[in-house]
Each structure stands twice: as structure tokens, then as C-alpha cells.
Structure 1
């Protein structure tokens, strides 16, 4: 039986049209303004200062950031915050002009979360056109975005790291039209219900794209639809790339309609380790995986699945998240 999803997934990407604003170069009325080097009493020189100035409560607030590189670690614990970066093309991460950067490692900071350049510990947060970087490099977990929020949307942002770039830990989360770069388990977490669409996943070194830590049969999932996997422009030697490996025994990761431009291993999926495979209860599956990086002869392990079109149709934005009214549909394909 064919669903609308099945029909759409068979069409070329060109039939889809995003509808974000044509530009975002001035702050909305009432926004808190961040501008590098500002001396104005009505503006803030860093995101940290703007976040500290937000009123208490849960009324919706907006922070607008002017172009610049902001060297800081920021922890947002106030709900209902939207952060917008200056851009002349809100629909594309390639035009982003705002960067938040730090270089903390988990070994020094004390935990994965504490190493995060931007840390979200509140609900109902939206990020637009912000590049978030952890520049530590290889040798330790080092998080760019640590996301513990519920109903968090990340739109046309850039996330840059090496090991554990994105901690998608809990709650409902969407990542749309963004760029996520890393090498080792660079999208990971435990109980989040995460939906990823229209993103560029850039591999910068040997490793696995995902590491799901789902440790029981619950709703946690990473669902990828219409994403592109590439080799990062600054990539080191890449010995292998897999779609994912199971951090815990109930890992659940689905890739649909993926265009692959850098070489994947024939198995697509990897055990956690030879001594601790974590494969007894995993749900690892893909559908319509295409492109020059897909081996001519795939050899999926017995615990991974190639979905049929009808099976793939069961995995949608709504099936992953349940409620979706909070998602900015202008960034959906």
C-alpha cells in the first residue's frame, strides 16, 4: 500500500521548496541584541551577557546576534528562547555570519555536557543561522552543541567538532537544513527523539556518524530523512565510515533517502566493540541509500535491516516526535 510519504520519497529533491524568510539582517522588535565590540548600553557584547539579562519566567524572548566570532561557552537554562543569527539567506547554513566557538574537552571539563560550546538545559528553544564550534580536535570527547531541551529546533545552523560534536540527549529535537561535522560518534545521546532532515553530514575522520545510547525499548530514536553525507573539506585520513554503532543495546537509528558522496563501508553499521557488540536489540535500518559513496555490493550485518518502501513509510516526522506543532515548517522539505 502506498502512502503519501512513499510517493514523495520517490520524487527528486527539486520538487520540494523551503519557505524561510528571504533575509534576516535586522533584529525583530523587542529582541535582545548581541553585537561584538558594542559600546551601546542597549546591546550586549556576548551571548553570555544577553542570556544573563533575560527576564525570568517563560514568556517568549528573542536574541538577535550581529556578525562576528564570539569566543565563549554558553549555558541556556531559561525556556522559550529563540536565537537568530544575522544572515542574508536564512534558508542556508552556507551564508551564516555568526560563530560561537570554544575548545573545551570532556576530559578537562569533567563531562561531555560540560565541554559543550553551547549547552541547552531548557525547553522550547530555537536556533537559527548560528555556527557552533568546538575546536579541541581529536583525542577526547568535545561537544559543540549539548542539547538537553525538549521541543528544540535547530535551523540552518553549523555544528563543528571531531568526537561527539552533537549531544542530542533527551526530549523532542529537530535539525533541519543544517551542517553537522565530525568523525567519531559525532551525533550521539540516549533518550532524545531526534528528527534530521535536509542536513549535510560531513565526515572529517575515521569513525561512525551516530552512536545511539537508547538502553531500553522506549520512544528514543534518531530518524534521518533526505540528508547528504560528504567528506569534510578539512578531513584527515579516513580509514572507514559507518552510519552508526550502538552505544547501548537498544540503539535505534533510521536513515531514509540518504545521498552518500563519501565512501561508506559495505556493512553500513558497526558493532560497538568486539568485546561489547551491543547488537541484541538494536533497530538499525536504511532505505533508498544512494550515491557514489555507497559500495556496489552492500553486506549489512544480520542485526541491521534494509527497509522496504512500505516499511520506510512508517517513519515520519510525526512518528518520531509525536507532536510537531512547535516545528518551524518553513524549514521542512
Structure 2
């Protein structure tokens, strides 16, 4: 191959690689004022784990943004009560599809791992991503509880009001998604499990264009409503 031909080929490959993550549906740079989490620490002013980034969120009534750079974050994350609205955005080349997600939060814990001395809110201790604050939108995250077939092990719990979960991949085995309160919208997301893996007590939850997959024997959902007045 001539030098000119080789150079041309390299230009084409480079252009293709660069063009693979451009356009209106990409989210590869944090917006101004965002708290940035980067496992590599390369992004200037970033934090290396999600939990640390959460502690830096403002206590003001303004809007907050938590932007996660590509990587796998092995931790349990709790979003506490905030005064303002929150957007959690994962790095992606295509906001419209969970298949392009490049950020994963993963944790392995089941009810059997919670000390017997803890008798209240035991599910909270197993949860990988626990959303206690209201008015939260989450985009393009993979959230996993990898404890497996060992009992209740929650990947995501929504425990406030007014949620939007978009193009997220939520995986587990038993009780993967706990929609305790709401209302909550899950759109263009993937949810998998085997035993009652979508459940809740009080939430109004709407699933729009989601892929829901059973990975074992069991029911997809279990509703905990006690009477007809419960809106869940």
C-alpha cells in the first residue's frame, strides 16, 4: 500500500471513529455548573466515585446536575433529600437507547447480608441506587445488583415523588426495581430479574417503551396495595 493510500485510510478510520459519537443525542461533556464524577480522575475538578460527588451537590433550591464520565462504579449510592431538582446524566453517544450506555453503578448485597440487628428499612441497605430525593431525572445509567438468586436484592429504589428514568438498564434477580413512591416514569429502559422484580407499595409507575425481561422462573411484578384506595 502506498503512503498516500495508507494516509487516506487512516483519515477515514479517524473520521468514522470521531463521527460515531457526535450529534444531538450525545452527552459527552458536562453542562456548566455540573458536579462531575470520573473514575479515572482525568477530568479536572472531578470526583472518583459517585457517592463523593453526591456529597458536593448544592443545598440550594436551584437545579442540580450530576454528570458521570464513562466507567464502572462499584458502590452503593444514596441520593438524599435535596431542595432543588436533580438531573443525573451518564456519558453516552445516544441518549435514546440504553444500549449505548457507558456508565455502570454496581453493588452486590441481599437481605441475607444485612445484620439481623437492623429491623427497619432492610431493603434500603441492599439497594444499589437509592433515590430519596424528589424531582429527580436519571438518564443513561446501568444500575445493577449482582447478588444473584439469594433473596431480595434491589438495584434501584425510588422513594420520593416525581421521577423520570430514561434509557437506563436496571438489572438484578429478586426485587430489582422498587417503586415505593412516585409518580415515576420509566421510558426506553431495560429492566430484568426473575422474582417479583418490579414491585412497590404506593407508587404510580408508568413504563413507556421499556424492555422487561425475565431471567428465571417467577412473577414479573408484585403489588403491595392493601385496598382499592391505594393508587399503586
TM-score (norm 1): 0.59
CA RMSD of aligned residues (A): 1.5
What is the CA-CA distance between 1:171 and the residue it aligns to?
Answer: 2.1
2:70 aligns with: 67
Cα distance in 2, alignment partners of residues 25 and 39 from structure 1: 14
Aligned to 1:174: 185
Aligned to 1:102: 107
Residue of structure 2 equivalent to 1:5: none
CA distance in 1, matches of 2:81, 2:34: 15
Task: Tell me how far 1:219 sits from its aligned partner.
Answer: 4.7
State the aligned residue count.
202
Query: 1:37 offset after TM fit, Å?
Result: 2.4
Superposition pairs for residues 1-333 of structure 1, below 5 Å?
Answer: 21-38=24-41, 42-79=45-82, 80-109=85-114, 110=118, 111-221=122-232
**Structure 1: distance between partners of 2:124 and 2:172:** 14
How far 1:30 sits from its partner (Å)? 1.1
1:81 is displaced (CA, Å) by 1.4
Which structure 1 residue ranges, 4+ long, deviate > 4 Å from structure 2? none
SS at match of 1:207: coil
- Deviation of 1:146 after TM superposition, in Å, equals 1.2
Partner of 1:305: none
How many Å apart are 1:218 and its aligned residue?
2.4
Instruction: Check conservation: 1:193, 1:219, Cα contact below 8 A.
Output: no
CA distance in 1: counterparts of 2:153 and 2:93, whole angstroms: 30
**CA–CA distance in 1 between the matches of 2:43 and 2:51?**
16
List per-residue Cα deviations over 1:291-312 (Å, max 9, x = no partner).
xxxxxxxxxxxxxxxxxxxxxx
Q: How high is the TM-score relative to the length of structure 2?
A: 0.83
Output the CA distance in 1 between the equivalents of 2:196 and 2:91. 30
Superposition deviation, residue 56 in structure 1: 1.2
Q: Which runs of 5+ in 2 are unaligned?
A: 1-22
Residue in 2 that maps onto 1:256: none
Distance 1:36 1:91 in 2: 24
Q: CA deviation at 1:189?
A: 0.9
CA distance in 2 between partners of 1:130 and 1:21 (Å): 18
- Which one is further off, 114-123 or 72-81? 72-81
Shift of 1:40: 5.8
Helix, strand or coil at the partner of 2:191: strand
Q: Which moves more between the two structures, 29-38 or 176-185?
A: 29-38
Provide Cα deviations, 1:209-254, integer angstroms capped at 9, x if missing partner: 0000011222523xxxxxxxxxxxxxxxxxxxxxxxxxxxxxxxxx
CA distance in 2, matches of 1:112, 1:78: 18
User: Deviation at 1:78?
Assistant: 3.2
Q: Distance in 1 between matches of 2:158 and 2:111?
A: 15
Instruction: Report the CA distance between 1:21 and its aligned residue.
Output: 4.4
Note the C-alpha offset of 1:89: 0.6
